[in-house]
Amino acid sequence: MALDRQAFCIPTRTKLILALLAILCCASAPAIAVFRAAVVKVDITPTDSQYLLGYGPRKSEGVYDKIYHRIVLMDDGVTQFAIVSSDLALVAPSEYDKVAAKLQKELKINPVNFWWTFTHTHSAPEVGPPGLPAVFLGDRYKHDFDKVYTEMVEQKLIEGIAEARKKLAPAKLGTGWGFASANINRRARLADGKITLGMNPDGPVDRRIGLIRLEKEDGSLLTLIANYAMHGTVFAAITEISADGPGIVAEYVEEKLGVPMLYINGAAGNIAPLYSQQEAPSGKRVLPQFKVMLGDKIIKANKDILAMTSDVKLRTSVMTVETPRKAGLGWTDDMLNYTRTTKEGINLVKLPVRFLKINEDIAIWSAPLELFCEVSNEIRDRSPFPVTMYFGYGNGWLGYMLTENEYAQGGYESTVTPYSPKAAQDLTDAVMNYLQGEMKKP
């Protein structure tokens, strides 16, 4: 029996339709996202005398060591996330908002994807308006901030992120933990029960180093992000510009490993460096000790990171925690976005808290606070994520936040907080609810 060849022939028109469908299917298939990263280090050391932020007002008379923006840009194909660590004490949230708006306009980066953190050195220039510190320490701010230097810091940050964008290349990410005894609780107890700035070896402390390692595609090191809680107060009120303890540690690790390192401070509200507020001669002797006490511990923790992945997904978000403002406390006009008054006449602080979720096992949260370490320690211990880190001094400064127990003890920090004694519990509850709820969604 002869076969009908026409029965097995596909008409030309049908072939064309099938070919078109195949092309459309290929075009609509999602591209495989490649995780990319880049790092940039930008010098922001001034060439003229500047008012230094930290301690009393004073102008710089020289440079002990240079200060920098260190910038990491990560891109998972959907989200492009920039984190900046600057060798500055702090800036007002209004200054962060100004830079974030410029960045969004010029580089189209959503502010939720831009985190600006500060190492909290007390020997770096002021940048932008004082913000909330002017409410507590009005006598300190009788001078105007240097608009020329501020503009330079802003522009170099934006240019640094633009440069990092050009350098994006395939990368891998891993995390790890280290330990260093380079810090100490600074709320000293006196015999009469009073609290003063000093040393309290029995007080709460956080000595864990949180580490994020970024590798190039070939496995060589691209950069480290090191998270450790420690005030930038090795030096006392010197008149030389310095990145202080965090800066000397970062420079040392960079010298040893050959790549930039971002020092991200943690919940350092009640934590000082082991040697703190040293006058210039003694400070210059003890500062190099932090290379070993902390720098070598970061290098060791880096060697211990074995699990790296190029399959990286980034998810950013922000939450506002509202908590009562300290009774009778004033506010500044440039900070009106960070407060509101209820119908009942209660003044609230509007505290922005940022979150970064990396894959399903890493949660990083950040707030514009000098947070007491007990809060971040508790959240890390209770978090449903295997890796949880707190990045302090994030996107501005909205004061100290003490635990209720420490608030009752008094001391310096209780005089420069805009919050009520219940604020730390409000923050803890809000962050834990977010980590256990919204952040756990796939």
Give the model confidence (pLDDT) of 199-211 as tens digits: 999 999 999 999 9
Pairing verdict, β 261-265 and 221-228: parallel
Instruction: With a cut of 70, say whether residue 158 has pLDDT above it.
Output: yes
* Kind plus residue range of the DSSP H or E element containing 98: helix 93-107
Chain Cα centroid distance, residue 134? 23
Calpha distance 425→389 (Å, rounded): 18
Amino acid making up residue 379: I
Strand partners, 364: 356, 389
Q: How confident is the model at residue 6 (pLDDT cuts 50, 70, 90)?
A: very low
Residue 226: C-alpha distances to residues 119, 179, 196, 262, 279 (Å): 11, 11, 29, 6, 27
Q: In this predicted structure, which of 19-28, 102-111, 366-375, 403-412 has the lowest mean pLDDT?
A: 19-28
* Kind plus residue range of the DSSP H or E element containing 82: strand 80-86
Q: Looking at 108-192, list the stretches that DSSP marks H as alpha helix, in order from N- to C-terminal side.
A: 133-136, 147-167
Instruction: Indicate left, alpha or beta for 436 from its phi (over 0: left) and psi (-120 to 50: alpha).
Output: alpha
Amino acid making up residue 228: Y
Q: Domain locations in the chain?
A: 314-440
Calpha distance 391→134 (Å, rounded): 24
The SS3 call for residue 263 is strand
Instruction: With a cut of 50, say whether residue 198 has pLDDT above it.
Output: yes
Instruction: Indicate left, alpha or beta for 393 from its phi (over 0: left) and psi (-120 to 50: alpha).
Output: left
Query: Looking at residue 9, what is its pLDDT?
Result: 46
Query: Looking at residue 237, what is its pLDDT?
Result: 96
Query: 206: how many CB neighbours lie within 10 A of its CB?
Result: 24
Query: Looking at residue 14, what is its pLDDT?
Result: 52
Mark 38-77 as b/e (b = at least 16 C-beta within 10 Å): bbbbbebebeeebbbbbbeeeebeeebbebbbbbbbbbbe
First to last CA, the chain: 61
pLDDT tens for 106-156 read: 999 999 999 999 999 999 999 999 999 999 888 888 899 999 999 999 999
Which candidate, 133, 130, 128, places its Cα nearest to that of 147?
128
Q: In this predicted structure, which of 137-141, 159-163, 270-274, 289-293 has the lowest mean pLDDT?
A: 137-141
Calpha distance 187→189 (Å, rounded): 7
The SS3 call for residue 122 is coil
Query: Cβ-count burial of 342 within 10 angstroms (0-12 exposed, 13-18 middle, 19+ buried)?
Result: exposed
The token pair at 298 is 């970061």
Which residues, at least 6 apart from 356, have a Cβ–Cβ distance to it below 8 Å?
Answer: 81, 115, 314, 315, 316, 363, 364, 365, 366
Q: How confident is the model at residue 284 (pLDDT cuts 50, 70, 90)?
A: very high
Which candidate, 264, 47, 101, 84, places its Cα nearest to that of 163?
84
pLDDT tens for 327-377 read: 999 999 999 999 999 999 999 999 999 999 999 999 999 999 999 999 999
Mean pLDDT rounded to a whole number for the chain: 93
pLDDT tens for 46-89 read: 999 999 999 999 999 999 999 999 999 999 999 999 999 999 99
Length reported for the chain: 442
Query: Looking at residue 10, what is its pLDDT?
Result: 47
Query: Looking at residue 29, what is its pLDDT?
Result: 47
Calpha distance 118→96 (Å, rounded): 11
Instruction: With a cut of 70, say whether residue 22 has pLDDT above it.
Output: no
Calpha distance 272→268 (Å, rounded): 7
Query: Looking at residue 139, what is its pLDDT?
Result: 84
Query: Cβ-count burial of 300 within 10 angstroms (0-12 exposed, 13-18 middle, 19+ buried)?
Result: middle
Model pTM score: 0.92
Query: Looking at residue 15, what is its pLDDT?
Result: 53
Chain Cα centroid distance, residue 142? 29
Pairing verdict, β 240-241 and 62-63: parallel
Which candidate, 167, 166, 149, 98, places its Cα nearest to that of 337?
98
Calpha distance 228→294 (Å, rounded): 9
Calpha distance 291→183 (Å, rounded): 13
Calpha distance 379→358 (Å, rounded): 17
Q: How confident is the model at residue 13 (pLDDT cuts 50, 70, 90)?
A: low
Which candidate, 363, 353, 364, 403, places its Cα nearest to that of 385?
363
Instruction: With a cut of 60, say whether residue 4 has pLDDT above it.
Output: no
Strand arrangement, sheet containing 271-273? 195-200, 183-189, 271-273
